Amino acid sequence: MTSICDLTATTLARAIASGELSSRDAIEAHLARIAEQDRQLAAFVTVDAEGARRAAEICDAASAPVGPLHGVPVGIKDLTDTAGLATTYGSVLFRDHLPAEDDLVVARLRRAGAIILGKTNTPEFGFGAVCTNKLCGPTRNPFNAALTSGGSSGGSAVAVAAGMVPLAHGTDFGGSVRTPASFCDVASIRPTPGRVPSPRRPLGWDMLATHGFLARGVDDLELALSVCSGRDANDPLSIGITNDDRPIAGRPRIAVTPDFGIAPVSRDVRARFATACEALAGVADVVPSSPDCSGAIETFRTLRAAHVASSYGELLSTRRAELTPTVIWNIEAGAKLSAEDYLNAERRRTAIYRSFCELFTRADVLVAPAASVFPWPNEISDVTAIDGTALETPIDYLAVTFIVSLVGFPVLTLPVRRNVSELPFGIQIIAPPGCEPRLFAFGRMIENELGFSHRRPKLP
């Protein structure tokens, strides 16, 4: 018999809407799963059991479903404000912080009927390769608790993989929904910047960071994005968002690259990616090809460092002793940048963007690994080398994902088919801006035809 906790968000929403299942039953089942598993896995910083029960009672008393996610439990990454529910940003500096208002993405989830079960763990301010901070963690991989879940949406990835929630919110700057999704065998979407507005973002035209979602399948990601999308006058990126839902004509054309020509990627990942490409060749025309990404690593380092220093530089001078070493390093990396450094990086970024655009005149989607390495032990805080070759900075292992962040193209990740003895591994499926419908259609096809889909962990 299938457990309630094994149902997808889409299936659960239908069951609640039809009266086959109550929202209270769904909430209690997921709270019980959290009670069973989270002491070991540490996916949640805060669980709002009583708030979720009250919301479920309201849902069950309603005369009709209030929205597409009516009564469905979800997790919210603890970088994102939830009204009246502790939001720590992974930092002891905010351990008692209770926001007065929901972030827009949270408000839209609630409006669609979703019930916030709690806040999922993240490294301090989202900076860290291992999902841990001075409040909670490490968030452990449900397929091997000795290994990392990845950063920085590791709490959301584990909550979904372990059946604590069917759907979770995440954020992604350089790979923060994609890396945990790959490590934990779940699916994720990083949409076109502005697709899910961030009207309180200080830098309105900043497209490096986006909201995203993690789930166990494509249908749930599409549903979540549909209820959270839509323009907001205070987010300039959202104003120009268009929806390109033209179907792929004929047999799909796939460009594949293991590394964008420049990203450090381990031998083991390259081997698994090659096997995935062989499977893809059964349903599409597969051609090795990559945009010209020369200079992308240095470009991202510069832009990211500038953003971090701007956002958190004051904390370094006033609260340094309370910050984690990873946050301190990130802030200091941007302290000496000049305006010329920043503008040169933007110039190179533009050239890389145009190279991506050119590639999509020849391909329907671009496929790359969703992580450069496999999960490593929680005790190791950073990836400093790959296959014995030292990395220049602690963020370079993310190059295979942050290159896509740099240009702002939407990306769907799916876990690939694997043997029982193999660790999870995912692929990035990339399309031009506004082409999320193309990603979902292609992703659904390879879920069904190739078995590129979630496999449940064996939980104790």
Span 211-233, pLDDT tens digits: 999 999 999 999 999 999 999 99
How many beta carbons lie within 10 A of that of residue 319, not counting itself?
13
Mode of pairing for the β-strands spanning 115-120 and 144-148? unpaired
Mode of pairing for the β-strands spanning 285-288 and 44-47? unpaired
Among 23, 91, 156, 176, which one carries the catalytic annotation? 176
User: In whole angstroms, what is the distance from residue 30 CA to residue 198 CA?
Assistant: 29
pLDDT band at 349 (very low <50, low <70, confident <90, very high): very high
Mean pLDDT, the chain, rounded, equals 97
Q: Compute the radius of gyration of the chain from its Cα atoms.
A: 21
What local confidence, expressed as pLDDT, does residue 378 receive?
Answer: 98
Q: Which residues pair with 222 in a beta bridge?
A: none
DSSP string, 222-246: HHHHHHH----TT-HHHHT-----P
User: Average pLDDT, stretch 17-26?
Assistant: 97
What local confidence, expressed as pLDDT, does residue 376 receive?
Answer: 98
Among 23, 91, 149, 152, which one carries the catalytic annotation? 152
Rounded to two decimals, the pTM is 0.97
Look at residue 365 and tell me whether its pLDDT is greater than 70. yes
User: In whole angstroms, what is the distance from residue 108 CA to residue 82 CA?
Assistant: 12
Angle between the 9-18 and 23-41 helix axes, to the nearest 10 degrees? 150
Let me know if 77 is a catalytic residue. yes
User: In whole angstroms, what is the distance from residue 333 CA to residue 337 CA?
Assistant: 8
Query: For residue 33, what is the enclosing H or E element?
Result: helix 23-41
What local confidence, expressed as pLDDT, does residue 297 receive?
Answer: 98
User: In whole angstroms, what is the distance from residue 217 CA to residue 165 CA?
Assistant: 13
Span 93-117, pLDDT tens digits: 999 999 999 999 999 999 999 999 9
177, burial (CB in 10 Å: exposed 0-12, middle 13-18, buried 19+): buried
Residue-range domains of the chain with CATH? 4-450 (3.90.1300.10)
Q: Which of 438, 419, 64, 19 is nearest to 243 (CA)?
A: 438
Tell me how many degrees the CA angle 233-239-241 measures, rounded to the nearest 5.
Answer: 145
User: Average pLDDT, stretch 355-373?
Assistant: 98
User: In whole angstroms, what is the distance from residue 20 CA to residue 247 CA?
Assistant: 35
What local confidence, expressed as pLDDT, does residue 335 receive?
Answer: 86
In a 3-state reduction of DSSP, which class is residue 178? helix
User: In whole angstroms, what is the distance from residue 450 CA to residue 247 CA?
Assistant: 20
pLDDT band at 317 (very low <50, low <70, confident <90, very high): confident
pLDDT band at 324 (very low <50, low <70, confident <90, very high): confident
Q: Which of 451, 445, 455, 453 is nearest to 254 (CA)?
A: 445
CB 157 within 8 A of CB 77: no
What local confidence, expressed as pLDDT, does residue 264 receive?
Answer: 98
Look at residue 289 and tell me whether its pLDDT is greater than 60. yes
User: Average pLDDT, stretch 334-338?
Assistant: 89
DSSP annotation of 138 reads P
CB 182 within 8 A of CB 188: no
What local confidence, expressed as pLDDT, does residue 327 receive?
Answer: 86
Span 149-205, pLDDT tens digits: 999 999 999 999 999 999 999 999 999 999 999 999 999 999 999 999 999 999 999
What local confidence, expressed as pLDDT, does residue 304 receive?
Answer: 94
User: Average pLDDT, stretch 389-398?
Assistant: 97
User: In whole angstroms, what is the distance from residue 425 CA to residue 43 CA?
Assistant: 20
CB 399 within 8 A of CB 264: yes
Sheet containing 365-369: give its strands across: 44-47, 115-120, 73-77, 167-172, 210-215, 187-190, 411-415, 426-430, 365-369, 253-256, 285-288
pLDDT band at 125 (very low <50, low <70, confident <90, very high): very high
What local confidence, expressed as pLDDT, does residue 460 receive?
Answer: 84
Look at residue 12 and tell me whether its pLDDT is greater than 70. yes
User: In whole angstroms, what is the distance from residue 29 CA to residue 243 CA?
Assistant: 37
User: In whole angstroms, what is the distance from residue 166 CA to residue 16 CA?
Assistant: 14
460 contact partners, CB below 8 Å, separation of at least 6: 37, 40
User: In whole angstroms, what is the distance from residue 194 CA to residue 211 CA?
Assistant: 9
Let me know if 119 is a catalytic residue. no
